[in-house]
Chains A and B, each alone.
Chain A
Amino acid sequence: MTVGPTTDPRAAAGVTTPKRRGTELALLGFAVLITLTAQAIVDLTLTGSLTTELATFGVWISALWLVAHLVVRRFAPYADPLLLPCVALLVGLGLAVIHRLDLADRQIDATATREDAPVQLVWATLGVALFVAVLVLLRDHRLLSRFAYTLALVGLVLLAIPAVLPASLSEVNGAKIWIRVAGFSIQPGEFAKICLVVFFAAYLVDKRDVLALASRRVMGLELPRGRDLGPVLVAWMLSILVLVFERDLGSSLLLFGIFVVMLYIATERASWLLIGLALFAGGAFIAYQVFGHVQQRVDAWLDPFAYYDGSGFQVAQSLFGLGTGGLFGAGLGGGRPDQVPIAKSDFIASAVGEELGLFGLVAVIIVYLVLVERGLRTSLIVRDAFGKLLAAGLAFAVAWQVFVVLGGVTGLLPLTGLTTPFLAYGGSSLVANFVLVAVLVRISDAARRPAPAAAPPKPALGDAPTEVVQP
């Protein structure tokens, strides 16, 4: 990796940073093209004809990304040009697959009128609206650090609500992670994730010097002081509470993983990773011993086919779908992804793998990888410590979530209940992830924005903590 200040184009005096907005627009056009092609293939394969709805959809989705693009162009002109197109591609492909599964439902039961794709489109629209709102209202990501403790409180409350609510209002498929009001289901954990990442970033920037202090060296590792173990233990307890009261393996794993990695980045002490890993292993072991549902998940993960009639059914069906899809897939509309229970949300990746094959699924994984690595790159080049840590936390959150979900769907990890960001059906997840990307876009704009021309070559600024040293 040669990314760094020395190769930064900003370093070359007199050269203006390319904004690359044209690139973004072209890539968005490409994403729309793929989205519409996929929709058309679905309709042609399953109904044999194209409908006018497809045209409406095309106009709608194009308008959506055009608005998003124009807002970025106006309010975050230096933003990373790949973030938004990656999101557009994933959301578009997700819509096509959800539409495809809608049609499968209708063909099995002709009276089924429920359609999830239009609902998802409305959520995507709301997501873009929030994306726009964040970019317009939040002109400087550093503002967020002022609200760190408020956001922490909001995050914790959001996380706690489903645990407190009666099961009838909060439980779906065994996990108490929902708020169900008047026909709407909201997964507050998705928003809590963002709030907590903001808080972690602000908190760790504040405390990282202390947390990096070493007490003694053991086998080449600088161990932190005992009294500094507090924060990591609190985060660990929090995850355990989520696991106990909400039976949500996914969020528990997600939050703890994000915190530990951010702690590592902030302090540069690998010992935190090991401490985190040890705590996680201990927690996982106890959870396995104590909770039936964790045991079930683990057993079904080790051998889904042995529990085919019960907890292993989903993963087994998912593996059947992926295996049948093979290299090239059955083609959109050609497979049977509806065989996998809850294919639209938790198992959408297996639908992609079955119908678009290994190539399609790997392409999706690589789009996620690009999204995440662009986020991490933003983190590398942004100048302020808070932005660095926030960008890293958000990017890693996406990476970790994708890894845990896809790992679960493909049998690599036990199933969690997390949703595939941007791709899967589910309003909360989609909207929350749009906010997440909006913040990343905002930080990347700051990262790539040229330093003020009037600034002296070596500014004696107060933001010393950053390690980006101008040569």
Chain B
Amino acid sequence: MNAPLRRVAISVLVLFTLLIVNVNVIQVVRSDELREDTRNTRVLAEEYDRERGSIVVEGSEVALSVPTDGRLTYLRQYPEGPVYAGVTGYYSLVYGNEQTERAADEVLSGNDPRLLVRRLADLFTGRDPSGGDVVLTLDAEVQQTAMAALEGVTGAVVALDPSTGAVLGLASTPTYDPGLLSSHDPQAIRDYWAELNEAERDPRLNRAIGDNYPPGSVFKVVVSAAALAEGYTPDSVIPAPQTLTLPGTSTELENFGGSACSSSGEQSLIDALTISCNTAFAQLGIDLGEDRVREMAEAFGMDGDGREIPLAVAPSSIGDIEGDAQLGVSSIGQQDVRMTPLQAAMIASAVANDGTLMEPYLVDQVRAPDLSVIDQTDPEELGEPVTPEVADQLTEMMVSVVTEGSGRRAQVPGVQVAGKTGTAENAGPDHNWFIGFAPADDPQIAVAVFVANGGGTGGDTSAPIARQVISTYLEGQGG
């Protein structure tokens, strides 16, 4: 029996060698990859020993670390958790961190090189290093109003300062309580996570930036801009048939509800936008050609790349277009046209800012733990999608939408609002959009409202939300 015994002994040696080789692979070769996986919370746990910086909105902390008696020295708290959840994200032992907690982690955790001098000082004084604060551009009232207005629906509101690109509001519903994901009790965290997983619509998704949707008629602003840039005027008369047979197909494109845009079969550009005539804009897009529409969309930021504000923003683009039939449908914001609510707000803000698109940003200041400002964001231009003249013409057209067109429910007493509605078809009930800015002659705020599968029209569902946000902000500004 000794010969097979020796073979078994050698086999055991081989099996154990396999184990050892495998452990080597995990602990040496894959070590960095595993250590840095966002779901690996071990490095995070080390950070809990350090006072993490706060996330600040208008002087009050919406995320802060408070000392505890437990093993983990600091507990992350979110005083107005659900209102700011989409912005702050969470800071979880089990699931890593998200949104600002993730995007500004270097500063908050104190690892940012700009905090280095201070950390060296801490080294000598023997104090535990602490993280820097991140001051957001948000307007607390805008954020609260937007969240309240969105209650009961799934959607998002983005508000921008058109002249700087500062994000004034970034609301998304449904929401959740980030504090419950940031506790020190792993089981409670997992339970809450499982509960969020069960939700029909994921509350952890910030719909303002995290996903893109068909914009519907909101996109007509971009097509209008392309037409005006080509020499059209608001009064140019364009074809507006009752139905449009898409070139090369037998598909009939109809207007909303199958109605006629005008009795004569043609109308002015401003009228077409005011009543959101589908056939007119489909034909206009086809007449302009794919290149002009695409260039204008890209100039407004729909370039197919994501961006960072510094939160990660999903890409917006008009997609691939094959032939005039698809171009026609794309020109009314359907087909493969997709945008984030942030992108929609950027379009409104560029028109509001005399045609100059500002880079949207959420972080105003980075402060050291002693409150000294170590970084202040300077507004930056992203480009000039349209000339000031075209911007004026677009404003005139968008004012007409709100004063006498589909966007009447966005009217604010005493203030001229410019806007555009959108009702986008998708697999479920229609998405409802509204983009706009006010006051039209001196824009202070640009907004985009998105209600997912609202089922109504942009004018009915989303315009009133925009009205609330705009009037709240203008009142707050003393106007």
Contacts and interface: CB of A to CB of B under 8 A. Distances in A.
Interface of A: 1, 4, 104, 107-110, 261, 264-266, 268, 305, 308-309, 316, 319-327, 330, 335-336, 339, 353-354, 357-358, 361-362, 365-366, 368-369, 372-373, 376-377, 379-380, 385, 388-389, 392, 396, 399, 402-403, 406-407, 410-412, 467-468
Given A108-B71, A336-B42, A336-B45, A412 B19 contact: yes
B5 A406 contact: no
A320 B28 contact: no
A326 B27 contact: yes
Contacts of A468: 2
Nearest to A338: B186
Contact of A323 (B18, B20, B40, B41): B40
A339 B96 CA distance: 13
Given A264-B4, A265-B1, A326-B35, A110 B24 contact: no
A328 to B, nearest CB: 10
Contacts of B33: 323
A362 B12 contact: no
A361 B23 contact: yes
B20 A362 contact: yes
A365 B15 CA distance: 11
Interface string B27-57: 1101111110101111101000000000000
A365 B34 contact: no
Contacts of A309: 193, 197
A467 B1 contact: yes
Nearest to A3: B6
B308 interface: no
B28 A358 contact: yes
Contacts of B372: none
A319 B35 CA distance: 9
B184 interface: yes
Contacts of B322: none
A183 B28 CA distance: 42
A365 B26 CA distance: 15
Contacts of B35: 320, 323-324, 326
A316 B34 CA distance: 9
B116 interface: no
Interface of B: 1-6, 8-9, 12-13, 15-16, 18-20, 22-24, 26-28, 30-35, 37, 39-43, 45, 69-72, 93-94, 184-186, 193, 197
Contacts of A335: 42
A1 B19 contact: no
B12 A369 contact: yes
A332 to B, nearest CB: 15
Most buried by A among B20, B26, B93: B26
A271 B186 CA distance: 51
Contacts of B3: 268
The B contact surface, by secondary structure, is helix
Given A316-B39, A353-B23, A410-B22, A324 B16 contact: no
Contacts of A377: 9
Contacts of A399: 12, 15-16
A383 B280 CA distance: 100
Nearest to B30: A323
B329 to A, nearest CB: 37
Contact of A320 (B2, B37, B184, B185): B37
Nearest to A318: B26
Given A108-B184, A376-B8, A396-B12, A358 B24 contact: yes
B41 A108 contact: no
B26 A319 contact: yes
22 contacts: A4-B2, A261-B8, A265-B4, A322-B27, A323-B30, A324-B42, A358-B23, A361-B23, A361-B27, A365-B19, A373-B9, A373-B13, A376-B9, A380-B6, A380-B9, A389-B1, A399-B12, A399-B15, A403-B18, A407-B19, A407-B22, A410-B26
A202 to B, nearest CB: 14
Contacts of A407: 18-19, 22
Contacts of B185: 108-109
Contact of A396 (B8, B19, B24): B8
B1 A326 contact: no
B193 to A, nearest CB: 8
Given A108-B185, A362-B20, A403-B19, 7 more contacts: A110-B69, A309-B193, A320-B40, A365-B19, A368-B16, A389-B1, A403-B16
B4 A268 contact: yes
Contacts of A406: 19
Contacts of A266: 1
B301 to A, nearest CB: 34
Contact of A108 (B1, B9, B70): B70
Nearest to A309: B197
Contact of B9 (A1, A321, A336): A1
B72 to A, nearest CB: 8
A167 to B, nearest CB: 23
A339 B42 CA distance: 8
Given A268-B3, A380-B2, A467-B1, A372 B12 contact: yes
Contacts of A107: 70-72
Given A319-B34, A372-B12, A379 B5 contact: yes
A407 B197 CA distance: 31
Q: Which of B4, B6, B28 has the most CB of A within 10 A?
A: B4
Nearest to A357: B27
A411 B22 contact: yes
A308 B39 contact: yes
Contacts of B26: 319, 322-323, 353, 410-411
